[in-house]
């Protein structure tokens, strides 16, 4: 490889080729030249002026030739490498000017160096690099992907980018993609430090910009889905100490634009007030100095991180997606970070040259930048190393909503996909609602993941301790379950025995007992009370009622007491109910106690979510890529499930556990039912007996239970079997 280096040492630029010093130059002389190139580049890139971009590239090439680097840049064999390097004492102004200049544009009369598909042009920006690159520990790599697209901000097509990375890595066992669905830094930090790691790559897809007081920032999400600003030190602190990713990829575009510039609709800008809270603004121009925010963010991060990939400006979603797809495929093959970026850049440029039908594809080929810090510049994984990552934690049916009593199976983290906005709407209601509006009723058909969603909510409501009511909904059971959350000393007080007796005599007294708990010992140690599978105590509406009603006087009094207690103003605890059906609960005066609940509905998974769930099932099962009959069966399973995650999990489980004959039989039954609406007689029995309300629900319940029974019977005995389906 022919290597040319432009290095900043203090106030001096030094130019070398293949290890031989060629020329030195006062940095002050070069800074205006670099800045002028950058200004022209920004204008030409914004207007997609290819002629001007080529002109800039030729001028830069000629200038480097004057610095003695011509032979290295014109080398006819092997890769050509240009390294922009700064030491710890480099002048900040000169460093910024050197790194901001668009060196990826270098061109001769024959065109951009990056266009030569047979001879790569590899660029990197290196910050105080000492010693050789860190050796990868594994022969495979594990990638954590997180996208942040807060409510109220222009939505990114992050799912397309995620899908492209999934597609790029599906054919090779050396890259495993995991997704953190929250968009929130705290939850990301927990995942990076979890048993799922270590992670070689962290990929963040988000907005960003320049805050007047904080400098360059990324815009991530709070648990409730609102925007929050993250500085480089904030992100660095989220990386696990001693086990940092070798690469942080920042797929971010600046949010501070409001005009249409062919980069997507920026209908309002984001900026911050002195208190740091995000504000909306209807200004009609860009926020000052936002153009180079990502370069500045990346440079700061690279002082601690081995490799950082960032975009030098706004980029089309499809260019970011195409680049990521090629880049990660190459990293999985063992390419170095700078070389993989060079190959992906070349691929984008090829899209541009071939883009007769869509002239925008590939137009941002020159914006991807590689920054190299201590121990960077090398491979992320190495096939010569025999060490593999440990398998992902199993998608175990021993994951419970009610962990203490091992009740209600929920999707394990690797299997749970999507539902971000629903979870966030629940958390917002917990925070912003008034009275019973802070209690949420999650509605959806069987198998759609209501209980799994409740578990995810509980995991994100980190200030609340989870209590689960399931199976037994009578007043005394509810009281005893909630009372267990009180510390033992307080719980031993005789006054609680008095409440037990009162509730035994009159179940409606539960409302007063719960209120005393919520405003008393549970005020400083609040709970999230989850009442799951509420449809078990609902029956068809009577008279002219539009919604279902609660069955049995004991259940009506218990549930009415819960709703009454959680309507108490100012309490810190929250209530979450899950049910297939909405309901009414009238008090003695005819008022509906459930009227004030915040209602959130779950629907079928979208197409991308179905694909993501299948990919995760394959990864957990240790399957690289399904082939032949297995692939065909899995495709039918996804189609037959029709977006129901529980049914899809059950059907794919048959296939992945090798029960192909059973899978074929089950799929045949479901497909015939979809066509004829005639159920197999043993499933029709569930409807006739009133266990299920319709054919769709009966199909879901039957095959979910069958899949679990098969799974459980194949396991060594390890305790009581669970309840719920």
Reported as a single tens digit per residue, the pLDDT across 401-425 is 888 888 887 877 666 777 888 888 8
Any idea which of 454-468, 496-510, 604-618 has the lowest mean pLDDT? 604-618
Residue pointed to by tokens 């970070």: 337
The residues that bridge with 336 in the sheet, in sequence order, are 379
Write down the pLDDT at residue 92. 87
Residue 651 and residue 703 in contact, taking contact as beta carbons nearer than 8 Å? yes
Residue 259's pLDDT is what? 23
pLDDT at 59 over 60: yes
Q: Within a domain: residue 582?
A: yes
**Selection from 328, 125, 320 nearest residue 208 by Cα:** 320
Q: Report the predicted TM-score, pTM, of the whole model to 2 decimal places.
A: 0.73
Q: What one-character-per-residue DSSP string does 439-481 give?
A: EEEEE--TTS-HHHHHHHHHHH-TTSEEEEE-S--SHHHHHHH
Q: Are residues 300 and 316 in the same domain?
A: yes
In 3D space, the residue among 516, 615, 82, 84 whose CA is nearest the CA of residue 299 turns out to be 84
Shared-domain flag, residues 467 and 576: yes
Residue with tokens 């860009």: 286
Residues 283, 270 contacting (CB under 8 angstroms): no
Beta bridge partners of 7: 14, 85
pLDDT at res. 274: 28
Residue 35 and residue 64 in one domain: yes
What would the pLDDT profile of 205-243 be if each residue is shown by its tens digit? 888 888 888 888 999 998 888 889 999 999 999 999 888
pLDDT at site 697: 78
Highest mean pLDDT pick, 590-599, 621-630, 702-711 = 590-599
Answer whether residue 148 shows pLDDT above 50. Answer: yes
Q: What's residue 543's pLDDT?
A: 63
What per-residue confidence (pLDDT) applies to 441? Answer: 96
pLDDT at 273 over 80: no
Q: Which two tokens stand for residue 502?
A: 């009162």
pLDDT-wise least confident of 47-51, 268-272, 570-574: 268-272
Provide the pLDDT for residue 707.
73
Of 601, 634, 662, the residue at which a domain comes to its end is: 601
Instruction: Identify the CA nearest to 244 among candidates 304, 299, 186, 298.
Output: 304
* Helices vs. strands in the chain: H and E counts, helices first: 23, 27
% residues pLDDT > 90 (the chain):
41
Verify that 77 and 16 share a domain, yes or no: yes
Q: What is the mean pLDDT of the chain?
A: 83
Instruction: Clarify whether residues 294 and 161 are in a common domain.
Output: yes
Residue 408 falls within a domain, yes or no? no
Do 366 and 232 belong to one domain?
yes
Based on the domain organization, do 151 and 299 belong to the same domain? yes
pLDDT (average), residues 619-633: 73
Among candidates 587, 596, 641, 592, which has minimal Cα distance to 614? Answer: 641
74-122 pLDDT, tens digit per residue, is 887 889 999 999 987 778 899 999 999 999 999 999 999 998 878 999 9
544 pLDDT more than 80? no
Q: Are 148 and 252 found together in one domain?
A: yes
Range of the domain at 274: 141-336+360-372
Say whether pLDDT at 691 is over 70.
no
Q: Is the pLDDT of residue 157 over 70?
A: no
| 494, part of any domain | yes
My answer on whether 703 and 619 are in the same domain is yes
Instruction: Report pLDDT digits (tens) over 128-137.
Output: 767 789 999 9
CA–CA distance, 268 with 262 (Å, rounded to integer) = 15
Of 248, 246, 218, nearest to 231 by C-alpha is: 218
Residue 348 lies inside a defined structural domain of this protein: no
CA 129 to chain centre: 31
Q: Where residue 489 sits, what CATH number does that domain have?
A: 3.40.50
**Average pLDDT estimate for 544-571:** 90
- The answer as to whether 403 is a domain residue is no
- Compute the residue count for the chain: 725
- Strongest mean pLDDT among 158-162, 297-301, 529-533: 529-533
Q: At 530, phi and psi to the nearest 5?
A: -105, 120
pLDDT for residue 512: 96
pLDDT at 263 over 70: no
- Give a three-class secondary structure readout of 607-618: HHHHHHHHHHHH
**Do 212 and 78 share a structural domain?**
no
User: What is the reported pLDDT for 364?
Assistant: 84
| Domain C-terminal end among 601, 632, 652 | 601
Q: With pLDDT > 70 as the criterion, what percentage of the chain qualifies?
A: 84
Give the pLDDT band of residue 311 (cuts 50, 70, 90): confident
The closest of 634, 704, 230, 166 to 417, measured between CA atoms, is 166
Do 593 and 660 fall into the same domain? Answer: no
Give the per-residue pLDDT at 673.
Answer: 83
pLDDT at 292: 65
Helix or strand or coil: residue 305?
A: coil
Q: Are 31 and 93 in contact (CB under 8 A)?
A: yes
> Of residues 631 and 31, which shows the higher confidence score?
31
Residue 587 has pLDDT above 60, yes or no: yes
Going by the DSSP 8-state scheme, the letter that residue 376 receives in this structure is -
The token duo for 164 is 């492209």
Clarify whether residues 535 and 625 are in a common domain.
Answer: no
pLDDT tens sequence across 647-688:
888 888 888 888 888 888 888 888 888 888 888 787 788 777
Q: pLDDT-based confidence at 125, cuts 50/70/90?
A: very high
pLDDT tens readout for residues 475-529 = 999 999 999 999 998 888 888 999 999 999 999 999 999 999 999 999 999 999 9
Tell me the pLDDT band of 724, cut-offs 50, 70 and 90: very low
Last residue of a domain, one of 372, 399, 430: 372
Residue 426 in this model has a pLDDT that exceeds 50: yes
Nearest CA-CA partner of 690 in 702, 698, 681, 699: 698
Residue 725 pLDDT more than 50? no
Alpha helices in 385-437 (DSSP H): 420-432
Q: What is the pLDDT of residues 274-300, one digit of tens each?
A: 233 333 332 222 323 344 677 788 989
Classify residue 463: in a domain, yes or no: yes
The span from the CA of 702 to the CA of 721, in Å, is 17
Q: How many domains does the chain have?
A: 4
CA distances from 231 to 100, 125, 216, 301, 470 (A): 20, 21, 6, 9, 43
Q: Is residue 412 part of a domain?
A: no
Q: What is the CA radius of gyration of the chain?
A: 30
In a domain, 532, yes or no: yes
């Amino acid at each position: 490889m022919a290597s040319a280096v432009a290095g900043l040492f203090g106030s001096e630029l030094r130019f070398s080729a293949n290890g031989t010093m060629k020329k030195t130059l006062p940095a002050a002389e070069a800074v205006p030249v670099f800045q002028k190139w950058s200004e022209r580049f920004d204008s030409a890139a914004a207007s997609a002026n290819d002629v001007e971009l080529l002109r800039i590239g030729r001028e830069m090439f000629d200038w480097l030739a004057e610095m003695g680097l011509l032979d290295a840049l014109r080398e006819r064999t092997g890769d050509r490498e240009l390294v922009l390097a700064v030491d710890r004492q480099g002048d900040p102004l000169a460093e910024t000017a050197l790194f901001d200049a668009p060196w990826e544009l270098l061109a001769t009369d024959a065109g951009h160096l990056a266009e030569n598909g047979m001879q790569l042009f590899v660029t990197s920006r290196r910050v105080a690099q000492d010693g050789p690159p860190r050796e990868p520990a594994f022969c495979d790599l594990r990638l954590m992907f997180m996208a942040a697209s807060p409510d109220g901000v222009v939505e990114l097509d992050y799912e397309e980018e995620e899908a492209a990375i999934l597609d790029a890595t599906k054919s090779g066992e050396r890259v495993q993609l995991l997704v953190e669905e929250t968009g929130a830094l705290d939850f990301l930090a927990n995942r990076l430090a979890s048993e799922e790691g270590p992670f070689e790559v962290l990929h963040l897809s988000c907005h960003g910009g320049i805050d007047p007081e904080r400098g360059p920032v990324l815009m991530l999400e709070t648990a409730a889905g609102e925007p929050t600003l993250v500085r480089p030190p904030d992100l660095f602190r989220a990386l696990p100490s001693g086990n940092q990713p070798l690469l942080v990829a920042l797929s971010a575009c600046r949010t501070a634009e409001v005009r249409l510039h062919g980069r997507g609709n920026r209908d309002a800008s984001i900026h911050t007030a002195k208190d740091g809270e995000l504000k909306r603004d209807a200004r009609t121009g860009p926020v000052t100095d936002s153009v180079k925010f990502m370069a500045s963010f990346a440079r700061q991060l690279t002082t601690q991180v081995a490799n950082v990939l960032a975009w030098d400006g706004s980029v089309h979603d499809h260019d970011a997606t195409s680049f990521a797809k090629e880049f990660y495929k190459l990293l999985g093959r063992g390419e170095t970070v700078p070389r993989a970026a060079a190959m992906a850049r070349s691929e984008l440029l090829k899209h541009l040259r071939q883009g007769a039908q869509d002239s925008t594809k590939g137009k941002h080929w020159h914006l991807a930048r590689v920054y190299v810090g201590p121990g960077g510049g090398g491979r992320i994984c190495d096939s010569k190393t025999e060490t593999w990552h440990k398998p992902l934690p199993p998608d175990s049916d021993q994951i419970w909503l009610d962990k203490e009593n091992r009740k209600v199976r929920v999707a394990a983290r690797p299997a749970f996909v999507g539902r971000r906005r629903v979870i966030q709407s629940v958390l917002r209601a917990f925070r912003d609602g008034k009275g019973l509006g802070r209690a949420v009723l999650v509605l959806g058909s069987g198998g759609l993941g209501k209980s799994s969603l409740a578990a995810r909510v509980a995991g994100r409501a980190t200030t609340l301790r989870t209590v689960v009511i399931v199976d037994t909904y009578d007043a005394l059971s509810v009281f005893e379950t909630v009372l267990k959350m009180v510390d033992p000393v307080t719980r031993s007080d005789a006054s609680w025995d008095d409440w037990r007796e009162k509730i035994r005599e009159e179940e409606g007294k539960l409302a007063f007992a719960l209120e005393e708990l919520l405003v008393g010992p549970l005020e400083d140690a609040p709970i999230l009370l989850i009442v799951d599978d509420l449809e078990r105590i609902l029956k068809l509406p009577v008279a002219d009622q539009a919604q279902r009603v609660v069955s049995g006087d004991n259940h009506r009094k218990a549930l009415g007491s819960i709703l009454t207690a959680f309507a108490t103003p100012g309490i810190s605890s929250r209530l979450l109910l899950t049910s297939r059906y909405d309901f009414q609960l009238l008090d003695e005066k005819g008022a509906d106690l459930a009227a004030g609940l915040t209602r959130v509905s779950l629907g079928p998974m979208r197409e991308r979510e179905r694909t993501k769930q299948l990919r995760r099932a394959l990864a957990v099962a240790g399957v690289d890529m399904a082939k032949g009959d297995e692939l065909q069966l899995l495709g039918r399973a996804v189609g037959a499930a029709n977006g129901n995650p529980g049914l899809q999990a059950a059907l794919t489980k048959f296939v992945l556990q090798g029960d192909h004959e059973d899978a074929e039989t089950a799929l045949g039954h479901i497909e015939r039912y979809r066509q004829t609406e005639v159920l197999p007689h043993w499933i029709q029995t569930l409807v006739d007996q009133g266990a299920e309300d319709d054919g769709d629900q009966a199909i879901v319940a039957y095959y979910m239970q069958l899949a679990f029974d098969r799974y459980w019977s194949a396991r060594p005995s390890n305790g009581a079997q669970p309840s719920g389906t």
